[in-house]
Amino acid sequence: ISNVAIPFRGVPTPDLTTFWKAMQTFLDGTPGRSIILGLQGYHDHWTVIEKITSRSILLYDSALIKRLPRSSCTTVHATWKRKHHLLPAQTYFLSNELLDIGQYDT
């Protein structure tokens, strides 16, 4: 891995839309990129994002979690409806590219 960035560490927690768009922008189909996502709420877990669409996060996961629907996610506090608390400050943007992935900071 050539580049590791934690773009949301040390900054105020972004709203779900801001965080989601940053992940989508980073995982734009360019080879050699991945995101390790920290989760709380229904799952207290680290996982790898395989793909992200406007409606779901698809995972490559050791606990066999396959999908997180956006409607069930939050970046603030888990609730009954939004049970997947995504942790932006504990999310790693990884790349094998020889460029500055800090450009994905918000």
pLDDT along the chain (106 residues), means of 10: 92 96 95 94 89 95 86 91 94 84 57
Report pLDDT for 91.
97
The token pair that represents 104 in the structure block:
């994905």
**Distance from C-alpha of 55 to C-alpha of 75, rounded to nearest angstrom:** 15
Report pLDDT for 102.
60
Report pLDDT for 39.
93
Report pLDDT for 99.
60
Report pLDDT for 2.
87
Report pLDDT for 106.
54
Q: One-letter amino acid identity for 35? A: I
Report pLDDT for 103.
59
Report pLDDT for 59.
95
Other CB atoms closer than 10 Å to residue 97's CB: what's the count?
A: 12
What's the gap between Cα 31 and its chain centre? Answer: 17
SS3 assignment, position 36 = strand
Containing 93, the helix (H) or strand (E) segment is strand 84-95
Report pLDDT for 43.
80
Contact 3, 102 (CB under 8 A): no
In the block, tokens 């979690």 appear at 65
